[in-house]
Amino acid sequence: MGVYREGKYTLKFTNLPVLAGTYTVAGPIEGQGPLGRYFDLVYEDSLLGENTWEKAEVRMLHEAVDGVLKGRNLRASDIDYLIGGDLLNQITASSFAARDLDIPFLGLYSACATFSEALIVSAMMVASGASNRVVAGVSSHHDTAERQFRFPTEFANQRPMTATWTVTGSGACLIEKEEEANKNLPRLSSATLGRVVDAGIKDAYDMGSAMAPAAADTIKRHLEDTRQVPEAYDLIITGDLSRVGKPLVEDLLSQEGIEVMRVLNDCGIIIYDPKQDVHAGGSGAACSALVTGGYLYKELLNGNWNRILLVATGALLSPTTIQQGESIPGIAHAIAIER
């Protein structure tokens, strides 16, 4: 068997699936941020010359998939499956990109945790023998997300300091069977799918607080299932908890006797500079995809890290659930990437 369970919830992959390449497409604010030089393609304008932001988002995702294939001299027809999703209603950025790419498509949704969910399903498909080569891809776009989840950008409402800024960008990852890929590339070794955890937060402008309990739950279960201490990883990196959610995770885990402060960071915190005035940090499915596919992947290749646990986090709200008085449940999916 190519996949087995360790502990109650964690999947271990044998014949470790190889993260054989990444490609990242970033919007202008992301390109100006501290990680800008790690992104493969940076746009100066968030419309990309299209006439709607939604069409720009479809194109970004398509370009990320094209980019990761070109990097290995592959064509779309060399890929068995495209696995991914995005934040748009009915994940239309992904399904329209899949239409244009003509690859069988497995659509996923875990809000901003969709990136790690896609890596997990990809790893499972490759480790199980279902496929030799898949692409996992996700996108998000500040302007498509704002007008869908909150207010149109043109409305210029004032955002509270707990708000995060949805990352404009896309990231695609090529996941291959060991024999297909260079032996020295990073691998996907284990994964923990998250439970939906609801802390009762109802403020759609404070998703860090809504998601922190889910992140803490998944990190705890992952470490317990695999019998590891946090320092077994050089870095445990959450998706988009922001400056509000990260200290909450540290506190929640500390109450359980797990001290993560020395190894914990958050994609949403490091993708922007505080001077960029995005408030609490970045969010969106592309937040963890840009940081992982750009920064982390390249630093893994450089040997600066050996073992990373990515814990992308998602806030499972919709405008309808908010209007109906529901709280915001969170989810977090963890995947270990190692050299």
Among 317, 335, 336, 337, the residue binding a second copy under the rule CB under 8 A is 317
Residues 269/240, Cβ–Cβ less than 8 Å: no
Amino acid in position 301: L
**Does 119 contact a second copy by CB under 8 A?**
no
Residues within window 163-192 making contact with a second copy, judged by CB under 8 A: 192
**Does 321 contact a second copy by CB under 8 A?**
yes
DSSP 258: -
**Does 193 contact a second copy by CB under 8 A?**
yes
Tell me whether residue 26 or residue 331 sits nearer to a second copy (CB atom).
331
Cα–chain center distance at 226: 22
Report the 10 Å Cβ neighbour count for 151: 12
At how many degrees (to 10) do helices 53-70 and 142-149 cross? 140
Give the range of 5-13, 27-35, 60-68, 161-169 binding a second copy by CB under 8 A.
5-13
Tell me the residue length of the chain: 339
Residues within window 8-27 making contact with a second copy, judged by CB under 8 A: 8-9, 11
Amino acid in position 154: E
Among 69, 111, 135, 278, the residue binding a second copy under the rule CB under 8 A is 111
d(CA 187, CA 14): 11
Residues 127/133, Cβ–Cβ less than 8 Å: no
* Least CB distance to a second copy at residue 38 (A): 29
Among 159, 195, 243, 298, the residue binding a second copy under the rule CB under 8 A is 195
Residues 209/197, Cβ–Cβ less than 8 Å: no
* Least CB distance to a second copy at residue 78 (A): 11
Residue partners of 145: CB distance under 8 A and separation at least 6: 87, 166, 284
**Does 104 contact a second copy by CB under 8 A?**
yes
Report the 10 Å Cβ neighbour count for 180: 14
Tell me whether residue 85 or residue 171 sits nearer to a second copy (CB atom).
85
d(CA 96, CA 198): 32
Tell me, by CB under 8 A, how many residues bind a second copy: 61
**Does 57 contact a second copy by CB under 8 A?**
no
Tell me whether residue 29 or residue 331 sits nearer to a second copy (CB atom).
331
d(CA 92, CA 53): 12
Give the range of 32-40, 135-143, 196-204, 255-263 binding a second copy by CB under 8 A.
196-204
**Does 80 contact a second copy by CB under 8 A?**
yes
Pairing of strands 81-86, 41-42: unpaired
Among 22, 24, 46, 110, the residue binding a second copy under the rule CB under 8 A is 110
H helix or E strand, kind and range, residue 55: helix 53-70
Residue partners of 301: CB distance under 8 A and separation at least 6: 185, 186
Residues within window 133-152 making contact with a second copy, judged by CB under 8 A: 148
Residues 83/66, Cβ–Cβ less than 8 Å: no
**Paired residues of 198 in beta bridges:** 329
**Does 197 contact a second copy by CB under 8 A?**
yes
Give the range of 51-59, 229-237, 277-285, 304-312 binding a second copy by CB under 8 A.
51-59
Among 45, 70, 90, 182, the residue binding a second copy under the rule CB under 8 A is 90
* Least CB distance to a second copy at residue 336 (A): 15
d(CA 322, CA 331): 17
> Which residues of this protein are in contact with a second copy, per CB under 8 A?
1-5, 8-9, 11, 52, 54-55, 80-81, 85, 87-92, 95-96, 98-99, 102-111, 117, 121, 124-125, 127-131, 148, 192-198, 316-321, 324, 326, 329, 331
